[in-house]
Amino acid sequence: MGLSASKRVSNSLKNSSEFNSACDSVYNDCLSLSQHAFPGVKPYQLLSATERLHVSLYPTVPLITNWVRSPPTRLQVDKALKIVSKEKKEGEIVLGNNEFKEFAVEVFKDAVVLSAGKELMKRVPLGALGIAGVGAVVKPGKELIVAAIGAYALGVATSVYVSLA
């Protein structure tokens, strides 16, 4: 299918003008709230910044609207911060504008991929159970039921993957 799901989501977010505009706006809000005391965004500001980003992105970016119904959690924020600031020491972490965008892409990419994975785990077993139930009634043969379940699972996975653009 080409790119992995996370790379596909990441590229989609990076190329979205709405996403970049929202990142710039929230970044500037963070600087204003700290009264420009720091040359960027500090880690303690990231959870509320992510929540403001979600509010801004939810109605305008289809990827967020379809897959991220609530703001990313503190755990997802911390994980994304760790990835973006892997070379900095704990006391000196301050995210500049570009680093903040990298952080935002990372945290929302993680949220989208996690949500899509949950959707797969919900849809595939239910559909497979339905196919097996029909197969038990009709009795077409074990191989045909297994092939139908495999085709269904592949179709669901493809549908979810394609919607990540």
pLDDT of 164 strictly over 90: no
Instruction: Quote the CA–CA distance of 77 and 106 in Å, as a whole number.
Output: 9
Q: Identify the CA nearest to 53 among candidates 100, 110, 115, 114.
A: 100
Instruction: Quote the CA–CA distance of 31 and 154 in Å, as a whole number.
Output: 46
User: 16: helix, coil or strand?
Assistant: coil
The C-alpha angle with vertex 23 and arms to 34 and 70, in degrees rounded to 5, equals: 95
Q: How confident is the model at residue 58 (pLDDT cuts 50, 70, 90)?
A: very high
pTM exceeding the 0.85 threshold for the entire prediction: no
Tokens at 86, concatenated: 């892997």
pLDDT of 24 strictly over 90: yes
Instruction: Quote the CA–CA distance of 33 and 52 in Å, as a whole number.
Output: 13
Mean pLDDT score of the chain, rounded to an integer? 82
Write the burial class of residue 9 (CB in 10 Å: 0-12 exposed, 13-18 middle, 19+ buried).
buried
